[in-house]
Amino acid sequence: MKETTTIPTTKAVRDRLKSYGSKGETYSQILTRLMDEIDYESFMERQYKRLEDREYFVSLDDI
């Protein structure tokens, strides 16, 4: 069994977090999904930045 913990927060934050979830989804699952989305977005932003820095990169928007 995974070790659990308690994270103190306000009821407003708890309720907001709950609004991001689906029926039956735990707070841990909601937080994991949100963090995965943030990690993916950060990764993609870094990749786009690397492409923009290249001399021969042409954006699809420019074609």
**What is the identity of the amino acid at 54?**
R
Q: What is the pLDDT of residue 48?
A: 84
How open is the CA angle 41-42-48, to the nearest 5 degrees?
85
| Spatial distance between the Cα atoms of 15 and 39, rounded to a whole number of angstroms | 23
**What is the identity of the amino acid at 50?**
R
Q: What is the pLDDT of residue 1?
A: 65
Q: What is the pLDDT of residue 2?
A: 81
Indicate the pTM of the whole model.
0.62
Q: How many angstroms from the chain centroid is the CA of residue 51?
A: 22
Q: What is the pLDDT of residue 62?
A: 78
Taking residue 46's Cβ as centre, other Cβ atoms within 10 Å add up to 10
What is the chain's pLDDT, residue by residue, as a tens digit (63 residues)? 689 999 999 999 999 999 999 999 999 999 999 999 888 888 888 888 887 777 666 777 877
